[in-house]
Amino acid sequence: MTNPSLLVVLSAFLICCFSIPEAQAENVLFEAGKKIARAGTGKAGSIACMECHRLRGGGMPSIGSPRIAGQSAIYIAHEILGVQQGTRYAPMMAGVVRDLSRKDIQAVARYYASVRSPKVAEISPPDPALVEIGRSIAQKGLWKKNIPACVLCHGPDGRGIPPHFPYIAGQNKGYLLRQLLSFAFLKRKDDPQGLMRGIARRLTHEERKAVAEYFASLSPPPAAGKRAEVQGSHHP
Q: Are residues 102 and 145 in the same domain?
A: no
In a domain, 3, yes or no: no
Q: Is residue 120 part of a domain?
A: no
Q: What CATH number should be reported for the domain holding residue 98?
A: 1.10.760.10
Same domain, 106 and 168: no
DSSP 67-104: P-TT--HHHHHHHHHHHHHTSS--HHHHHHHTT--HHH
Higher pLDDT, 87 or 35: 35
**Domain-embedded: residue 119:** no
Q: Is 43 helix (H, G, I), strand (E, B) or coil?
A: coil
Is residue 228 assigned to a domain? no
Is there a single domain that holds both residue 58 and residue 136? Answer: no
At 230 the pLDDT is: 40
Which amino acid belongs to residue 145? K
Is there a single domain that holds both residue 17 and residue 84?
A: yes
Contact residues for 228 (Cβ-Cβ < 8 A; gap 6+): 116
Q: Is residue 230 part of a domain?
A: no
Task: Say if 59 falls within a structural domain.
Answer: yes
What confidence category does residue 1 fall into, taking pLDDT thresholds of 50, 70 and 90? low
In this structure, the answer to whether residues 101 and 155 fall within a common structural domain is no
| In a domain? residue 33 | yes
Give the pLDDT band of residue 93 (cuts 50, 70, 90): very high
Model pTM? 0.85
Whether residues 33 and 80 share a domain: the answer is yes
In a domain, 231, yes or no: no
Angle between helices 205-216 and 173-185 (to 10 degrees): 140
Judge if 20 and 60 occupy the same domain: yes
Count: domains in the chain: 2
Helix 102-114 / helix 4-39 crossing angle, nearest 10 deg: 110
* Residues 93 and 188 both lie in one domain: no
**187-203 tens-digit pLDDT:** 888 898 899 999 999 99
Whether 97 and 69 map to the same domain: the answer is yes
Domain limits at 162?
128-216
Task: State residue 232's pLDDT score.
Answer: 38
User: Does position 4 have pLDDT exceeding 80, yes or no?
Assistant: no
Of residues 190 and 135, more confidently modeled: 135
**Do 110 and 140 sit in the same domain of this protein?**
no
Q: What is the mean pLDDT of residues 155-184?
A: 95
At position 95, the amino acid (one-letter code) is G
User: 7-21, 36-50, 69-83, 128-142: which range is least confident on average?
Assistant: 7-21
Q: What pLDDT shows up at residue 45?
A: 85
Burial class (CB in 10 A: 0-12, 13-18, 19+), 148: middle
Same domain, yes or no, for 90 and 178? no
User: What is the chain's mean pLDDT, rounded?
Assistant: 89
Q: Which of 87, 114, 141 is the last residue of a domain?
A: 114
Q: Please indicate, yes or no, whether residues 110 and 136 belong to a single structural domain of this protein.
A: no
pLDDT of residue 234: 45
Taking residues 55-61, report their average pLDDT.
97
Counting residues of the chain whose pLDDT is more than 90, the rounded percentage is: 75
Q: What is the pLDDT of residue 22?
A: 76
Closest listed residue to residue 180, CA positions, set 234, 120, 137, 124: 137
Residue 155: its pLDDT value, please? 96
List Cβ neighbours of 86 (8 Å cut-off, separation of 6 or more).
187
Question: Closest by alpha carbon to 137, among 209, 185, 201, 187?
Answer: 209
